[in-house]
């Protein structure tokens, strides 16, 4: 496993990270989740991503119990706040009260003394940005949070937050989490501006929710997120044109003699601005295939072949 610096934080995290959305505390039982975390740790994965809203807090609790078996300095945990919880729909956003309450609740769920990376799950247009930045600064000053970051913000919003942090004398955000994969490259438009702020980029959905790996090549498998009415609407890549492109992508991977998942992750990591790629896992062996992407280098000819395979045509 290779590691990259996370923006200006001083942290170095693994090129492949383990996430817990839709798996821990939900579709995957705790025994299998713990097995995935143990295997991830063995493989050198040191960044684990979750959120207070995943499985209404159970994902954090499962992850915390799994990580408790390892030395504290051997892993980095990132969680998030913004969305309302099932039992308290009125509490949401990035106001000071919600942010600080979320920090305390996540600490309890994870069983940690400090959260390595607290992330704003979305931008909150209803709360003054100064209030959010100050709340994060206060959580850090209290020793409850070590660094903070954001998810799905624009570069302009991150720049404004950084400027406010400077004026308030508190730390600025050090990470951004956008969706990014070979089928959806729009995040690239702001990579340079994000990196210029000293913000590291940790991408989610690098496998296009399984579309790039061929999971949906023969239809929608029973029990998959594509078969679940509650999650299918969020699967923006589960479309006929994307299925066609993903098949051509897998053809390139086959020609190179590697798994499509490894090529998809390496494709993301070819960009120096990308610090890490977040993957999910329901079985430990899935991680063995994913980590082969770390350190995988190809020349421009291979990436040109990928671009050609993904180019839109009349049939896809």
Q: What is the pLDDT of residue 226?
A: 47
CA distance 77 to 65: 13
Q: What is the pLDDT of residue 313?
A: 52
Q: What is the pLDDT of residue 280?
A: 94
Cβ contact 24:52 at 8 Å: no
- In a structure prediction context, what are the per-residue pLDDT tens digits for the chain, which is 316 residues long? 999 999 999 999 999 999 999 888 787 899 999 999 999 999 999 999 999 998 889 999 999 999 999 999 999 999 999 998 766 666 789 999 999 999 999 999 999 999 999 999 999 999 999 999 999 999 999 999 999 999 999 999 999 999 999 999 999 999 999 999 999 999 999 999 999 999 999 999 999 989 999 875 555 545 545 444 555 455 556 677 888 899 999 999 999 999 999 999 999 999 999 999 999 999 999 999 999 999 999 999 999 999 999 986 544 4
Q: What is the pLDDT of residue 91?
A: 76
CA distance 210 to 249: 13
Active site residues: 54
Prediction pTM value: 0.91
Torsion angle (degrees, nearest 10) of CA 151, 155, 157, 158: 70
β-pairing, 12-14 vs 3-5, is antiparallel
The ranges assigned to domains in the chain are 3-207+269-298
Alpha-helix residue ranges (DSSP H) falling in the chain:
30-42, 58-67, 96-110, 129-141, 155-168, 191-196, 229-232, 240-256, 260-269, 284-290, 300-310
Q: What is the pLDDT of residue 236?
A: 54
Chosen CATH of 3-207+269-298 out of 3.40.190.10, 3.20.20.100, 3.40.50.970, 3.40.50.300:
3.20.20.100
Cβ contact 118:109 at 8 Å: no
CA distance 270 to 125: 33
Cβ contact 141:169 at 8 Å: no
């Amino acid at each position: 496993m290779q590691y990259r610096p996370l923006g200006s934080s001083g942290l170095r995290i693994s090129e492949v990270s383990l996430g817990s959305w839709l798996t821990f505390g939900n579709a995957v039982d705790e025994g299998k989740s713990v097995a995935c975390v143990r295997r991830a740790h063995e493989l050198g994965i040191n960044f684990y991503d979750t959120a207070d809203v995943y499985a209404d807090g159970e994902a954090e609790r499962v992850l915390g119990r799994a990580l408790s078996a390892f030395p504290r300095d051997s892993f980095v945990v990132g969680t998030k706040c913004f969305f309302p919880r099932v039992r308290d729909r009125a509490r949401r956003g990035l106001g000071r009260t919600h942010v600080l309450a979320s920090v305390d609740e996540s600490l309890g769920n994870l069983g940690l003394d400090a959260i390595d990376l607290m992330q704003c799950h979305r931008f909150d247009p209803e709360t003054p940005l100064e209030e959010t930045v100050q709340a994060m600064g206060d959580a850090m000053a209290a020793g409850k949070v070590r660094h903070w970051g954001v998810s799905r913000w624009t570069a302009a919003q991150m720049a404004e937050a950084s400027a406010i942090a400077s004026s308030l004398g508190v730390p600025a955000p050090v990470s951004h989490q956008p969706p990014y994969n070979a089928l959806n490259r729009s995040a690239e438009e702001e990579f340079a501006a994000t990196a210029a702020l000293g913000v590291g980029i940790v991408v989610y959905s690098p496998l296009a929710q399984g579309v790039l790996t061929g999971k949906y090549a023969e239809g929608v498998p029973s029990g998959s997120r594509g078969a679940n009415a509650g999650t299918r609407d969020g699967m923006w890549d589960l479309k006929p044109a994307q299925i066609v492109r993903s098949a051509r992508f897998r053809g390139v991977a086959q020609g190179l003699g590697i798994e499509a998942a490894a090529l998809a992750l390496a494709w993301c990591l070819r960009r120096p601005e990308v610090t890490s790629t977040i993957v999910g896992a329901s079985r430990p062996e899935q991680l063995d295939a994913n980590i082969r992407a770390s350190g995988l280098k190809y020349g421009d000819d291979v990436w040109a072949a990928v671009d050609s395979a993904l180019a839109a045509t009349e049939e896809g």
